[in-house]
């Protein structure tokens, strides 16, 4: 699936692996320089940044509001594991408003030109207990919704369903990116259950020759499917194409539709 993800900035003019970050030590003269040091450190090392899940500081995991609020059926499902590439507690480039984003690991669709190839191998990434991930969702305040990307969320329908149930129990909106069309999803095992829990679906394979990168769509063939009345098409299309954020840790995080390539276009 051609989804939306994160990068570390670099100076090679080459596409970096998506969902990557570089840790930088904090200089003595203040937090505001740490993001610059992260970029400088990447330039000095002259290699692609590692996936976030390999070098990131482990997050404290807890039960959280979502785990407590989720219905009994969802709590039973959450005893399982999800295979993820990364998650971001707060992003504004992955759907309307501030959103908790989960990038699933594993995709067999093989869209030529996909700029998220590090999420394809189902054996990569990391395994996380769903109740722990739902706990993280419940700990974040002031967000509007949950977005699922990847990788391919519909290739882990049980995990996707559990996360969506938890989000709905919290009153959050739900959105997913999928390389499958909505028609295909209806025929997938667990697909209708996922669709029933979504407000918005961005569907369809990524087609490099129809590159668009606007309104959450990576290519022109992809569609915005409004599955409930929660949002309008204008709401979805108003989502920023990309965002740049310097985290308190000093990480420089770029997220959106291939933000590095967008920045370098004349």
Q: Which residues contact 190 (CB under 8 A, 6 or more apart)?
A: 154, 157, 158, 160, 161
Q: Which pTM value belongs to this model?
A: 0.71
Query: CB–CB of 203/185 below 8 Å?
Result: yes
**What's the sign of the alpha-carbon dihedral 150, 56, 168, 97?**
negative
If phi > 0 it is left, if psi is from -120 to 50 it is alpha, else beta; for residue 115 that is alpha
What integer pLDDT is reported at residue 14 of this predicted model?
Answer: 26
The DSSP element (H or E) to which 170 belongs, if any, is none
pLDDT tens across 68-117, in order? 344 444 444 445 899 999 999 999 999 999 999 999 999 999 999 887 89
- CA distance linking residue 193 with residue 206, whole number of Å: 24
Of the two residues 56 and 240, the one the predictor is more confident about is: 240
CATH match for 5-264 among 3.40.50, 3.20.20, 3.30.70, 1.10.10: 3.20.20
- CA distance linking residue 211 with residue 150, whole number of Å: 18
Nearest to 195 by CA among 222, 169, 226: 226
Reduce the DSSP state of residue 245 to 3 states and report it: strand
Angle between helices 130-139 and 157-169 (to 10 degrees): 30
For the chain, the structural domain boundaries read 5-264
pLDDT tens across 228-245, in order? 999 999 999 999 988 888
pLDDT tens across 199-214, in order? 999 999 999 899 887 8
Q: Cis before residue 151, ω within 30 degrees of 0? A: yes
Q: What is the mean pLDDT of residues 238-263?
A: 75
What integer pLDDT is reported at residue 23 of this predicted model?
Answer: 38
Which regions of 162-240 does DSSP assign to beta strands (E)?
173-178, 200-203, 211-214, 217-219, 223-226
Confidence of residue 163 (pLDDT cuts 50, 70, 90): very high
Query: CB–CB of 49/21 below 8 Å?
Result: yes
What integer pLDDT is reported at residue 3 of this predicted model?
Answer: 56
């Amino acid at each position: 699936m051609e989804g939306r993800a994160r990068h570390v900035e670099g100076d090679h003019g080459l596409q970096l692996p998506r969902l990557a970050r570089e840790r930088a030590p904090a200089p003595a003269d203040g937090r505001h320089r740490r993001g610059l040091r992260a970029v400088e450190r990447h330039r000095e090392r002259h290699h692609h940044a590692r996936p976030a899940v390999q070098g990131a500081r482990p997050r404290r995991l807890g039960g959280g509001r979502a785990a407590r609020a989720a219905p009994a059926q969802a709590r039973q499902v959450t005893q399982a594991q999800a295979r993820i590439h990364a998650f971001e507690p707060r992003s504004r480039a992955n759907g309307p408003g501030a959103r908790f984003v989960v990038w699933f690991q594993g995709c067999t669709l093989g869209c030529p030109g996909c700029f998220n190839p590090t999420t394809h191998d189902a054996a990569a990434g990391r395994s996380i207990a769903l109740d722990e991930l739902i706990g993280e969702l419940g700990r974040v305040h002031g967000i509007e919704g949950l977005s699922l990307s990847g990788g391919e969320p519909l290739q882990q329908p049980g995990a996707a369903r559990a996360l969506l149930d938890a989000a709905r129990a919290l009153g959050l909106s739900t959105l997913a990116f999928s390389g499958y069309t909505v028609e295909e999803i209806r025929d997938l095992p667990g697909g209708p259950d996922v669709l029933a829990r979504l407000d918005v679906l961005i569907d369809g394979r990524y087609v490099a020759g129809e590159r668009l990168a606007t309104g959450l769509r990576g290519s022109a063939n992809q569609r915005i499917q409004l599955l409930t009345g929660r949002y309008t098409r204008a709401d979805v299309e108003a989502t920023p194409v990309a965002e740049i954020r310097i985290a308190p840790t000093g990480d420089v995080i770029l997220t959106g539709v291939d933000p590095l390539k967008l920045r370098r276009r004349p």
